[in-house]
Structure 1
Amino acid sequence: MDIEELLEKRVSRSVQIKLVLISSIYWSIVAAGVMVLSLTLPKIAQTYGLQSTTASLIASSTFFGMLTGALLSGNIADIIGRKPLIGILVSIISIFSALSGLKINFSTLLLVRFITGFGLGGLLPVVNAYLTEFSPKVVRGRLLVILEGSWAIGSIIIGIVAITLGKTNYSVTYFVFLLGLLTLVFLKFIPESIKFLLKKGRIDEAKKNLILLGIDYDGVIEIKKESVLRVPILNLFREKYLAITLMVFYVWFVISFSYYAFFTWLPRVISSLIGTEITKSINYTFTMLVMQLPGYLLGAYIIETIGRKKSLFISLLGTSIMAFFFATSRTPNHILINGSLLTIFCMSAWGIIYAYTPELYPTEFRATANGSAGALARVAGILAPIFISSQFKNLTFAISTLGVILVIGGILVLVIGRETKGKSIG
């Protein structure tokens, strides 16, 4: 039996839910690890006595670590497997996030944030590839957007911690990441990617892992294999994938650049636009973080309703339009309304591109594709905080520029993108 058919017919709904929930827990940890900077960076800058541009190095070092992690983890996962790497990366995130809360010298803090970023950036493409390889084609897009939607859950949880337990001492907000080590126990209850094992020729191991899916199958399992080049990343630029890869890379870059430009310095941006205090603007920031959840729900609905290309175009266009409105906001109500709508469309775009990308590439280099796209997103994450912090006196122009590059991304999706709704993946 073909592996696609076996997984489609024999994996129960309860097992699918278990895989989504466990994957979403790890995704939420990454979200919390990234968004904690938006909520604590102003306080860290005050504690260390830093100017905004210097303080941006904390965010940029984190994103540089995410870049390195995303680049390397995809290749590593395509060699050693998804499951063992997930455990390693979760451990890194938990331990080094907690260390970020200590009052250490600035240089050491930058190193700690780099290592934390390595774990954060590395975990995303591995978990994404893992869940993709178990998801039925009829609901694959929706499940992957739900996975990305757990980003909102992680953001909200760390936001609550920041404005309650960490209100007077930001260090507490980082110490709670040690709880992430407890989630490693979940790895005992999920299998390694069956497709990965089969394509590596580990047939007996694949059949043993099927038992964790509730499948007792001893027959022949068939899987289509794709020829691959010796250097994994070069597969993305073969003639068959070149145009798609360039489109994917651009869209990932602009979504990430826009997202981190909006959110890394969001309390300061809001303060600059409407002249409110940083402390009060953090409350606005938390409200916008909460609005990420309906954004992912929007993406989860439209991706299986109108397809990947149209849903991604609409989300990018909506983000662009709301960026223009947000840039011209001058009252608290306008900030909340325009910022919330901006967040909804932006998160919808994020969810859809995370679901769309792994569908465009085969198992042999799916994690490499995810990791490479994620690495480019981290380059954007490095540049975006510096860009915004240098434009506090000219925010309307800066945010309007983001709107333009988002529209270009939407057009590229319509022209170059390939529709994958309801189709099998290799």
Structure 2
Amino acid sequence: MFESTNSAPDYLHWFRHSAPYINAHRGKTFVVMFDGEALKDNNFHHIIHDIALLHSLGINLVLVHGARKQIDENLSKQNIITEFYLNRRITTRTALPEVMSAVGASRMHIEALLSMGLANSPMFGSRIDVISGNLITAKPYGIVDGIDFQLTGEVRSVDTKMMKSLLENNNVILLGPTGYSTTGEVFNLSAEEVATKTAIALKADKLIFLGKEKGIVNHQNNLIREVCSNQLDNYIELYKSNDPHFSIILGCSKDALIHGIQRIHLLPFAYDGALIQELFTRDGVGTMITDDLYEEVRMATIHDVGGLMTLLRPLEEKGILVYRSRERLEDEIGQFAVIERDGAILACAALYPISITGSEIPSAEIACVAVDPNYRKSNRGSQILKFLEEKARNNHIQQLFVLTTRTAHWFIEHGFQPAQVDELPNARQQLYNYQRNSLVFKKLLS
């Protein structure tokens, strides 16, 4: 007879919470790109295991590998020097055989890893059919600023009909940074461009870049977990001088957004489990770029008080929110974030730091979450909550609390867990209104 227990292993909780993502991703098409450096990293065999897992969960996968590192090594052994311009290699006829050798060896290495079936390993019984071929038609990159790129090319077309057929038959497609012209020539391509053009042609559900960067970071080197399309140009310019290659990835991301790819993920290849954590948890591990045309979330100013009162009063009258006078709103305006459109406040929420003592961990309270009734079926509440969570992380807050009487399920859906009043920091416990009897929820920030 099994004994009753009040706790379950962490992996069991994670597996249960991942179920909605498993259902959402099944049957979708993801294009995953990783560069040559990823192939040489000690974590690459874990990436292969995770790719096998994604395949087993019914996700259609197109893998695109780079080989710049391998090409550099081949050329160095043969004492062949190639120049770069605009961060593209000028591929000479002397260099092309070494390019083809490096790309071919990289492809075979990946295919071999995907064919593993050792017992007692994550690949046991996975049975993955990997297909490569002349699926990318290329054309010369041409002459730019007077520079002849010779056998460096760009994508001309993608054989989507064949790719869709292969994916429907449960194959994984593997593409490299080469393409073939209608005249039978081989061209050296940008793997990032191959991935982007393939995702656009297939109308993929996600485009994922596994690179050496952990994602887009701010000036304090803190990861920015979500970036909207209207913010992307600033980051492209920012990285141009510091990290030109990453700037190119961001440029490809912008191209993908313009052509209808709704979600792009930037992940670190050296992080064990990055793919799984990004795709099957709420917070993920890298940066997600989205084409959703959100109104900008910003911190409120004194000029927003009137709009806040208009938004909050109906909820206060129903007892859903605690009443706040105009004077209190003016005093606390610096704690509020808002979403505005055409001068109207569509959503708001406040972040209140909580005084702590002794061994209590840095905490804050999310309060006064409100969305205009005409927009409650949108995700503006989620958007403003994510904004304040990121602000809390940047302020080194480790734990968030919410007190609510009517919206418990919504907060649970956003990762908050039920808590008790005595779990609140002492300073906040003293202000708890027992007559209102609000439910308490908490969320630990990574």
The two structures share one fold, judged by TM-score above 0.5? no
Q: TM-score, normalization: structure 2? A: 0.25
Question: Higher relative CO (CA 8 A, sep ≥ 6), structure 1 or 2?
Answer: 1
Whichever structure has more helix as a proportion of its residues is: 1
Query: Which of the two has higher C-alpha Rg?
Result: 2
